[in-house]
A = this chain, B = another copy of it.
């Protein structure tokens, strides 16, 4: 694609670096911005740069935060002795949007995956263990990806904290709401049978 201006081309190249955005979409976005007010576009650029420059990570749970401690960790209405262990910030946002969880989080920053060169040392695992020890955590809930890497991570962390008087659980795996039994994979279906629930508990 031959562009008539180098300024336009630079902007298109920047947008095209974003995930899921190709050259054509990037051009569409840039031509849209070209029609906007100069100050609005200036503000757009500044907001993005400021976000990256000024954003901080909670020193306790490694969630994104405007300050040293995030709004979840500093909220006394939440159960601070309940930790949900997640892979990344997106998982925190997903769980928060259910409005069903009243504890805190611990963002690992990934999961153990030797093939991708990610070992326990690159993740926020030491800080989790220290936190569980220091804060006398009552329960750790693992909400990690249901695959080998996720299971390895759970196993590794469990080994590290098994001497502590802390309950360790994982979120339920089973047939999704609206999911058809016949399209479910064998493993999920088998697990959902093994971990079946009394109907009273289900309809509660």
A residues contacting B by CB (< 8 A) are 1-8, 10-11, 14-15, 17-21, 25, 27-34, 36, 38, 41-55, 63-66, 70-72, 88-90, 92-93, 96-97
Contacts and interface: CB of A to CB of B under 8 A. Distances in A.
A104 to B, nearest CB: 12
A110 to B, nearest CB: 11
A190 to B, nearest CB: 32
A61 to B, nearest CB: 10
A192 to B, nearest CB: 28
Contacts of A33: 18, 48, 51-52
Interface of A is mostly: helix
> Ordered nearest first, which 8 A-B pairs have the shortest CB separation?
A45-B49, A45-B45, A41-B52, A11-B51, A45-B48, A5-B64, A7-B51, A42-B49
Contact of A29 (B7, B18, B38, B92): B18
Nearest to A63: B4
A146 to B, nearest CB: 21
Given A6-B66, A45-B45, A51-B7, A93 B34 contact: no
A93 B33 CA distance: 17
B51 A8 contact: yes
A89 B4 contact: yes
Nearest to A58: B4
A93 B2 contact: yes
